[in-house]
Amino acid sequence: MSETPKDQTPQEPRPDYTSVDAYVAGDGTPVPATPAGATVATIPWDQPATMIDLEGRTPIIATIRECALHFSLYKPHARDQARIVLTKPVHREGRKTRTWILEPFEIALLAQRLADEG
């Protein structure tokens, strides 16, 4: 028969860092996980990123700005295959978790933002 030591305290459960709730302070205010709680629309242009292609072409290791610029030059087929791997995850609207990968429609939003800013 095994006995547990009487001075051993029970361990607290580990927090679930995959949920947005893990990044909220005890008083309910958000704890920024990325600069100013970045979303896809507010990713800083100088943030390092890697643009990959699902067909296996050479990745582009650059800033978000350069990746968005390259994306705007792609043909429609290449745009469908493009993804951006981020160095800092961002929040997506309607999801509890953050993401490290941007889908083509999100990259298109960045390319549009780049065009609008001139």
100 versus 1: the higher-pLDDT residue is 100
State how far the Cα of 74 lies from the Cα of 71, in Å rounded to an integer.
5
Model pLDDT, residue 64: 96
- Where are the chain's structural domains? 35-117
State how far the Cα of 29 lies from the Cα of 58, in Å rounded to an integer.
41
Judged against a pLDDT cut of 70, whether residue 28 lies above it is answered with: no
Average pLDDT of the chain? 80
CA angle at residue 72 from 70 to 74, to 5 degrees? 75
**pLDDT cut 90: percent of the chain above it:** 52
Q: Which helix (H) or strand (E) holds 48?
A: strand 48-53
Judged against a pLDDT cut of 80, whether residue 12 lies above it is answered with: no
Model pLDDT, residue 44: 92
State how far the Cα of 54 lies from the Cα of 78, in Å rounded to an integer.
9
pTM: 0.67
Judged against a pLDDT cut of 60, whether residue 56 lies above it is answered with: yes
